[in-house]
A and B are shown apart, each in its own frame.
Chain A
Amino acid sequence: MINSISPLDADNSGILVFKDLHKRFGDIAVLKGVSGKLVPGQISAFVGPNGAGKTTLFQLLTGELKPDRGSATLNGQNILGSSPYRLAGRGIGKLFQDVRAFPNLSILDNVIVAIVARQSYRDKPFDFGLVRNGRSQVLAKKAREYLSRVGFDANEEALAKNLSWGNQKLLALARLLAGEFRCVFLDEPIAGISTLMANRMVPLIRELAEAGVAVALIEHEITFVESLANDVIVMNEGVVIDSGSASEVLSHAETREICLGL
């Protein structure tokens, strides 16, 4: 099951490789040796029942948690143990399972934050760049572009907390786009939103991959997995029980059972 890593992977192609990741919370081993890789331009779907450890895996790879054991590299360079903001600076972005839009900021400011953070995390850590009138028109214009890319047509001055759940997810996606990441982790981007919203979300995720981003996706709904994913990694109780190309994995009866038997 463990993907072997060839020396070829250690190049500058933007591949994220993780190997043998272990994590336990107290007495509970949540991840027991998980390996895999994310390839630019490809959507890898992580499926498996609740509690399988998918979110925990994403937290390890985005710097929110430290693993007990294992390795993970981006372009051959270690990413474990770095804080989330450093990893964001190196091109790793994330959509949280619980969304986490900035509730008391306006829709526009939510996106501007991401643009500003991206512009400054490398060379200008202490940036007092004036945001005239609360924000510069240049920034606002850029932010509007991202908002229109996700098809957001709500009042841009509305506070994020007043948005519906689906709209908050869409906003979080716009914020993620504004980060211009090379590798993104989407933790259940489609769950819990209306079909209308889901139908908007799916092509956006596909576009992201087409633009050359490595996309990791957690999704329970098998139809979305079928329509989106290039690769599927099936997890259960902290281990990868099956992985490979989407058509192959999804044809396995056992996998279908685990995914559908939620």
Chain B
Amino acid sequence: MNLLLQLLANGIVNGAMFALLAIGFGLVYRSLRVFHVAYGACFVLSAFVYYLLVTCGGWPWWLAGLGSIATSAAIGTLMEAGFYWPFYRRRISSEAVLVASLGLAIMLENVMALLFGNEVAAIPRGLSQSVTLGPVRLTMIQIAQFAICTSVASAVFLLLRLPSFKIVLGMGENTELVQTLGHSLPRYRMLVLGLASGIAAVPACLVMTDVGMDVHAGMSYLLIAAVAVLAGGVARAPGWLLGAYLVAVLQSVVIWKFSAKWTGLVAFALLLAILLFRREGLVGLHKRKEEG
């Protein structure tokens, strides 16, 4: 029982981080209809930017975090302007864009491997204190992870409720909407990708501070984000959160029962199982369009 609570707590902390990851991915997939595979590579890149700023630049953690978020947002914006927008202009199918994005991810990953090497990088940290709450023990870092990620997620949700951001969520169903309302579609798309990449940088820095990562981790993090969004339901943002927490808790149970190396496999099997029975995900709108 106690163990179960501990696992649940660990899962919830990770869930808060995965939730941010999923929000970024979900925003792009929902609003732009782009299956952003390179998102995983962006995530890793922002983690390494943070790493460099802290270890080589000697920046304080919060400043380095802001720097990483800004860099990531800039890269995301650039990606939209220089990569996805040309595809959109040519009306290339979403499937082909996914494959292209996969190509981009591979390129980024290997450029990073050339720059940073293949070793796991982590921010050296002193012995972290831990807090005991009844049967559950959490390190200070875990608490910080949860607090930061949850507040950022709440902020993002509030942001999306602003009238001007309503368009962002409506964009996926009706691309013309943006133009009929007199806004510039390219700018809105850049906004979404910039925002998504910036959001992803938050958990990236936090993972870097805790367990660290190597340059090849992008695909597994992408898998987590995509599984959370697709399993939770693309149509509605609360579904993404549900998916993220589900994946995280499941992973923590898998780590306990088996080993960390099976987490990716289990996450993906979960997704397939959900999609086979509920195509629209757990929190889906009732399916409007049947095939065709």
Contact = CB atoms under 8 A, between A and B. Distances in A.
Contacts of A25: 288-290
Interface string B275-292: 000000000001111111
A64 interface: yes
A65 B290 contact: yes
Interface in B240-292: 286-292
Contact of B286 (A26, A59, A64, A65): A26
B12 to A, nearest CB: 34
A59 B287 CA distance: 17
A59 B288 contact: no
Contacts of B287: 26
Nearest to B285: A26
B288 A64 contact: no
Contacts of B286: 26
Contacts of A65: 290, 292
Nearest to B288: A26
Nearest to A23: B290
Contacts of B288: 25-26
A98 to B, nearest CB: 10
B236 to A, nearest CB: 15
Nearest to B291: A64
Nearest to A59: B292
Contacts of A59: 292
Contacts of B289: 25
Interface string A19-30: 000000110000
Interface in B100-145: none
A25 B291 CA distance: 12
Contacts of A64: 291-292
A232 B287 CA distance: 33
Interface string A180-206: 000000000000000000000000000
A26 B291 CA distance: 14
B277 to A, nearest CB: 17
B178 to A, nearest CB: 24
B1 to A, nearest CB: 44
Interface string A24-38: 011000000000000
Interface in A1-47: 25-26
Nearest to A65: B290
Interface string A51-88: 00000000100001100000000000000000000000
A64 B291 CA distance: 8
A135 B289 CA distance: 38
A35 B145 CA distance: 62
Contacts of B292: 59, 64-65
A25 B289 CA distance: 7
Nearest to B289: A25
B194 to A, nearest CB: 33
A25 B287 CA distance: 8
A26 B290 CA distance: 10
A26 B280 CA distance: 13
Nearest to A25: B288
A11 B286 CA distance: 40
A30 to B, nearest CB: 11
Interface in A187-229: none
Nearest to A27: B286
B151 to A, nearest CB: 36
Nearest to B287: A26
B233 to A, nearest CB: 15
A59 B292 CA distance: 10
A118 B291 CA distance: 24
Nearest to B290: A65
11 contacts: A25-B288, A25-B289, A25-B290, A26-B286, A26-B287, A26-B288, A59-B292, A64-B291, A64-B292, A65-B290, A65-B292
Q: Which 9 pairs, one residue from A and one from B, show the smallest C-beta to C-beta distance?
A: A26-B288, A26-B286, A64-B292, A65-B290, A25-B288, A59-B292, A25-B290, A65-B292, A25-B289
Interface of A: 25-26, 59, 64-65
Given A25-B288, A25-B290, 9 more contacts: A25-B289, A26-B286, A26-B287, A26-B288, A59-B292, A64-B291, A64-B292, A65-B290, A65-B292
